[in-house]
Amino acid sequence: MQITTQAVQIGLEWDTRTGSVAIPIYQTATFRHPGLGQSTGFDYTRSGNPTRQALEDGIARLDGGVRGFAYATGMAAITGLLMLFKAGDHIVVTEDLYGGTCRLFNQVFNQFGLSFSYVDTTDLAAVEAAIRPETRALFVETLTNPLLKFADLPALAELSRRRGLLLIADNTFLTPYLMRPLELGADITVYSATKYLAGHNDTLGGLVVTNRPELAERIYFYQNSVGAVLAPQDSWLIIRGMKTLGVRLDRHQENALRIATWLEQHPRISKVHYPGLPQHPDHALMKRQARGFGAMIAFEVDKHALVEQVLLKTGLISFAESLGGVESLITFPEVQTHADIPAELRARLGINNVLLRLSVGIEDADDLIEDLRQALEG
């Protein structure tokens, strides 16, 4: 069954009593027991809720895993995964990643004895060189934020297996529609469901999937123990969004390629980062391993003064953080989404004072191009 069909069908089987096509919102904290020592399978919503369960089952099917888990936010999902490790453990991490993830690693979990090394995960030799005796995992973004680099996931999976590491793949930018990391050798996938999966900039959520039953048991233990679970209403909103994942991403990507191609030709743009462009260094690799190139674009304007002009003069494109919704959003990574990355690392990576990140929505591409044109030239 195609992933688009699977997405549309999420939750359809749940309400057999009434035949409701939409999964009900089970807005309850607790559930009645049918008898002493008996359970309906649901006892307390922190431990399990039918609306959340429908979402968790749905993302597991889309990702090809054995079990899914839904958390209050994407950061809560990553926090839940870090509970798998103990003081003294070391994790190798993609260097070009979301600033909030960097903050969580460096300013929260460092104080509990976890250590992290940041490397270019497109460089297999650099990844292997960063592995220590105490290394327990490799954490990669399948398409990095904000510079859109794409690593060879099967090669990283083979390295992880050989060195006895867990491979955790943050697949937020691509979603299961464009790439299924578990099929390429990852042990765990994690998503900010706030982004493309929910798709409407109206809710928060995080999702985790694994294809290993023993890992699923451990992840559930920590999910239930810590309790940063997704509420029923938000679970319902993400299910609703996921049903249109395929058609939305098709439009997102169509727009992104047109805009990236236009930006390349504009005299005020000095560099465009978009893997759908043939000259992108990871274009050929991504074409082999993914079903598409996503809808995020990073681009550099020719001088810093133009940054504020673009941010404030775009009308259709909102100056706002986040990404992946139907509305186009633009942000300035150096002082917003990536401010928590050390300045020297930002400078080395190219997260500089002329770099803008554009989340391309599903509006008409001609209208978005005109909005960018008048902002750049006005």
The ranges assigned to domains in the chain are 3-242, 246-377
* Residues labelled catalytic: 46, 98, 170, 195
Give pLDDT, residue 334: 81
Please report which confidence band the pLDDT of residue 328 belongs to, taking 50, 70 and 90 as the band edges. very high
What are the pLDDT digits (tens) for 78-88?
999 999 999 99
Give pLDDT, residue 352: 87
| pTM, to two decimals | 0.96
Indicate if the pLDDT at residue 347 is higher than 80. no
Give the 3-state DSSP-derived string for the chain, with helices as H, strands as E and coil as C: CCHHHHHHCCCCCCCCCCCCCCCCCCCCCECCCCCCCCCCCCCECCCCCHHHHHHHHHHHHHHCCCEEEEECCHHHHHHHHHCCCCCCCEEEEECCCCHHHHHHHHHHHHHHCCEEEEECCCCHHHHHHHCCCCEEEEEEECECCCCCCECCHHHHHHHHHHHCCEEEEECCCCHHHHCCHHHHCCCEEEEECCCCCCCCCCCCCEEEEECCHHHHHHHHHHHHHHCCECCHHHHHHHHHHHCCHHHHHHHHHHHHHHHHHHHHHCCCEEEEECCCCCCCCCHHHHHHHCCCCCCEEEEEECCCHHHHHHHHHCCCCEECCCCCCCCCEEECCCCCCCCCCCHHHHHHHCCCCCEEEEECCCCCHHHHHHHHHHHHHC
What are the pLDDT digits (tens) for 171-229?
999 999 999 999 999 999 999 999 999 999 999 999 999 999 999 999 999 999 999 99
The fraction of the chain above a pLDDT of 70, given in percent, is 99
Give pLDDT, residue 313: 96
Give pLDDT, residue 378: 74
CATH of domain 246-377: 3.90.1150.10
Indicate if the pLDDT at residue 15 is higher than 90. no
For 3-242, which CATH class?
alpha beta
Indicate if the pLDDT at residue 336 is higher than 90. no
- Give the mean pLDDT of the chain: 95
Give pLDDT, residue 367: 98
